[in-house]
Structure 1
């Protein structure tokens, strides 16, 4: 990808542009981890080390706000509500995200391991994606990878959590959701330690 001012501002934090959504005369640019670079950068942060609650949200608030100030943009976040900013809706308008067979968003480069750390609203032309939806040419291994069938009929959160917390769920708990990991797009970029961090927060 061609580097620009946004790429240069995000790079030191292990972040990247995930897609642009037109917003009237402005653009909303979604921002997420550039994996696997992201994890070591966040792990070395003051927020990760201070032992206080919600380290990733606090880190995201600090660094995305800093980037926004550098670029004369408005920072937006998927946390801090209600009300919550409509990141899911914005994502589907970028031309780079789609609903996957298990209902989670799938990204054209990061697959099912996408997460949003924030967004910018600013005066820049939107770069809307034009590529094909990856699921259309995929065997959809995500749909059958869950060992407890948590995605067989919508998303059974209770069954998912019960499995992850049990001895049988050690693999999911320590290395990440098997259904997400089954996606061939972006496979192998999320480190096990990062996946375990997110699983602990989920539980």
Structure 2
């Protein structure tokens, strides 16, 4: 059944206290192999949680300053802590993109928001461009009343120049996929300083959602995590 009172508005308010937002959701079909909710029973609904731009960064930084020991994956740890508290408040189970075995977050996102992958593999959002992320999800034991998702305008379809495929010094992105080792070698090497300090050059070359572009220190943080610097 569908719950009589949708908690979506209250959940959005709770997440906003840490700069996070709801990124859509959907109800699983009866024949789907949905992950478990709070009990052993398969979840009936999922709400995705994420960010637009770098809104969570000040909240994360304040949290990080209070930690007494070095944390291996601090942003994941913070996200799990924040989203987990919201899940507990609203009777949901919190899951993360870093959970093993991996959950199909990208497929969930395309279903929840109607977005599609860019040439870089990052999902292109019609408002945020490439400057957004999914930090977790809330799984519910009952169906949640949700608006129907509609296909989003895919900005990559109208982009002729494709600057996102022309800015990387080692052509890490191509029709053959992502050259992971070539990218890592470059970022870690002497010519990779611009990437280390300001983030992926291909990603920054995308003209869409520029007002949501992560500041240089945020991009440097993510690049350091990617390259294990």
TM range (shorter): 0.7 to 0.9
Partner Cα distance (1:175, 1:21) in 2: 36
Partner Cα distance (1:42, 1:96) in 2: 28
Q: May I ask how many residue pairs the two structures share in their alignment? A: 200
Q: What's 2:41 paired with?
A: none
Q: What's 2:40 paired with?
A: none
Are the equivalent residues in 2 in contact too, given 1:14–1:38 (CA < 8 A)?
Answer: yes
Q: List aligned pairs for 1:122-161, cutoff 5 A.
A: 122=140, 123-127=143-147, 128-139=149-160, 140-152=162-174, 153-161=176-184
Which consecutive residues of structure 1, in runs of 5 or more, have no partner in the other structure?
Answer: none
Where 2:94 maps in the other structure, the secondary structure is strand
Which consecutive residues of structure 2, in runs of 5 or more, have no partner in the other structure?
Answer: 1-7, 31-43
1:63-110 deviations in whole A, cap 9, x for unaligned? 1011112222221111131x1111121112124321112333222333
Rg larger in 1 or in 2? 2
Where 1:184 maps in the other structure, the secondary structure is coil
Q: List aligned pairs for 1:107-186, cutoff 5 A.
A: 107-122=125-140, 123-127=143-147, 128-139=149-160, 140-152=162-174, 153-186=176-209
TM-score by length of 1: 0.88
The alignment yields a C-alpha RMSD, in angstroms, of 2.1
Aligned structure 1 segments of 4 or more residues deviating by more than 6 angstroms = none
1:114-150 deviations in whole A, cap 9, x for unaligned? 3221011233233313331121122322122222101
Where 2:131 maps in the other structure, the secondary structure is coil
Q: What's 2:62 paired with?
A: 44
